[in-house]
Structure 1
């Protein structure tokens, strides 16, 4: 049998410059460790531990029985887009028509569609930092220039209007942020967004991607959308979806709402990449919206309780600097107090080193802050059971105590 000759595969500069998602990479390492027989608690993934509500599952089964097994319109079923428009009016007091809405295979695709349709090579994209891991990489794919803008810990890591004003240049094309924020859990108030809107009024060629995927997981009251500010509304692309609020991660349904010209461009982009989203998942998503958000609010209340549990347990771990997150389901402590410490000859020089130490010694998976633009932090997800959270924090406390 002849052995295959080695082939020198030359990959594109585009893929070579792209970083792997650190959340997915850490989850992969956790699975590998678990496969070796270790009891690993995974706090690295941003995935609700709740089951999708039964009425949504039932709608999917009904869709199959009724024969919804064919290709769908690129921008989504008219019924679903209409329900999304109703949702925007009901929850956000925003007036969108179905033509303003494009349904995609997850909110990540919605973000990618918008970035690829707006950003030219060399355009600067200001990304409020800490930020979700994929923002910067998606901008790189569009050959734009990511410009991270770091919020201060004392302001819950939220970027201020004054910071934004100083960061905008003649090359700025786009601003990206999430609220509630992944990874910090910070939530922008209506007043804060209005101040940011005043800055944007002076820069009519700058657009905004507002990622609101954690909208329903908000512990501080009513959610605020920057698209509600009339002077900038036509330049805002609002991103949302079903994965977090309705515990529908595997269903892969997200959407954007924007000016009809931007929506049409995203429809065109998507038509050449994936076309329409899964028919069954869309029918389930429509049912989710028709059913209101009662189940979402029940899950949010569970997250609120878990947040308090984790913060209480962290009080006993020296060296963690944190704050009380206002939404989402993450804690994002500053951990630089451990840099320079060591155990068994291994020195902790970074948050990535600390994350790997915690995984290998405590068998708890967390994510390094480098991936989120904050190399002095690590991210914990508390979207898991109380029992696992208590055990995970116990293990982490014991492992960190070994570092000298």
Structure 2
């Protein structure tokens, strides 16, 4: 069969993160012991009360379709969570999605057309670029690597990129892959440019609960002048260790939600019924579990920074999420390939995120495995 595929699929490459993870799986299938630091998945189980809530929902018969944008109980809980963050989203301004990635996809497809302009901060999560390309948008980039991944020192660079042609600015704080948490001054700088140039801002806050600074990071949509031009994305995968449950949510102005709901209803219909009920439990009764996970990630971050320092490696300190960007050889792809083949340590090339010369490490692994990974890298000449 001589099939001609749509142009859009030729614009994107397979996920570099999953490619490395697949290689790690192949080595493990051959009997190798691989320290896999490539995938951003918490190594904690889903909290027991959330699991029990999901089971109870199934037993109660919550296994059919739900209202497309989410069950009322979950949307009410999400609205309460948004209110705690200073965001006034009504329930008709919320879409519950099967995973945060689906929410992002729906927003990109709603706001971007062929020739639209989207601004990304490098290093940027790989799926932002892929979604922009699928929509046919043009990408403008702002490099944060000269500033240890902080946004505030790069606001002048951002001002040179954002213009009246800008349709969407994507902000991810805490950041995947750098772990950076953007300051209030940085977010206010984004706000000022968005208002001046009438641009929409997508604030991806999926790692919001995993921060090591004092207090909860400021939600961009809570700033003056941003409520009508901000889309806020969050979800359950990272905060509650619910990656396989596939549950996320979007808060946005009602007119944008109405348009995005068309894509939502015609693609996924709705998020899984009993998973949504488990989501209510996660939002309302898991504070202790979330704190326990965050504290463990904090300790691991500090340990890794010390271990790398012992080997003469200065790593920009992440203040959130569970990633760090390790400075490596200029050809970071070759470094990562060598690290997994020689040391059996899996990482992701920084070039996949738009920032060559680095490797992203996930410290969502036990302290023992993290120590083993650093030791192997050192013994094999990769530090």
TM-score range, shorter chain: over 0.9
Change (3 A) 1:155 1:389: closer
Greater Rg by CA:
1
Give the Cα separation in 1 of the matches to 2:37 and 2:44.
Answer: 15
Q: 1:154 aligns with which of 135, 139, 147?
A: 147
Contact in 1 for aligned 2:145/2:355 (Cα 8 Å): no
Residue 225 (structure 1) aligns with: 219
Aligned 1:46-195 pairs, distance under 5 A: 46-90=40-84, 92-158=85-151, 160-195=154-189
Contact in 2 for aligned 1:190/1:225 (Cα 8 Å): no
Residue 299 (structure 2) aligns with: 305
Give the Cα separation in 2 of the matches to 1:161 and 1:275.
Answer: 40
Contact in 1 for aligned 2:211/2:294 (Cα 8 Å): yes
Asked whether 1:375 is paired with 2:356, we answer yes
Asked whether 1:264 is paired with 2:245, we answer no
Q: CA deviation at 1:321?
A: 4.2
Residue 36 (structure 2) aligns with: 42
Q: CA deviation at 1:54?
A: 0.4
Asked whether 1:196 is paired with 2:190, we answer yes
Q: CA deviation at 1:32?
A: 0.6
1:51-84 superposed Cα distances (whole Å, 9 cap, x missing partner): 0000000100100110001011111111101100
Aligned 1:356-367 pairs, distance under 5 A: 356-367=337-348
Q: CA deviation at 1:292?
A: 4.6
Give the Cα separation in 1 of the matches to 2:151 and 2:30.
Answer: 41
Unaligned runs of 5+ in 1: 1-6, 340-349
Give the Cα separation in 2 of the matches to 1:164 and 1:308.
Answer: 31
Give the Cα separation in 1 of the matches to 2:155 and 2:255.
Answer: 28
CA RMSD of aligned residues (A): 1.4
Give secondary structure in 2 for the equivalent of 1:332. strand
Q: CA deviation at 1:323?
A: 1.5
Give secondary structure in 2 for the equivalent of 1:237. strand
Asked whether 1:210 is paired with 2:203, we answer yes
Unaligned runs of 5+ in 2: none
Normalised by the length of structure 1, the TM-score is 0.92
Normalised by the length of structure 2, the TM-score is 0.96
Give secondary structure in 1 for the equivalent of 2:327. coil
Give the Cα separation in 2 of the matches to 1:369 and 1:201.
Answer: 32
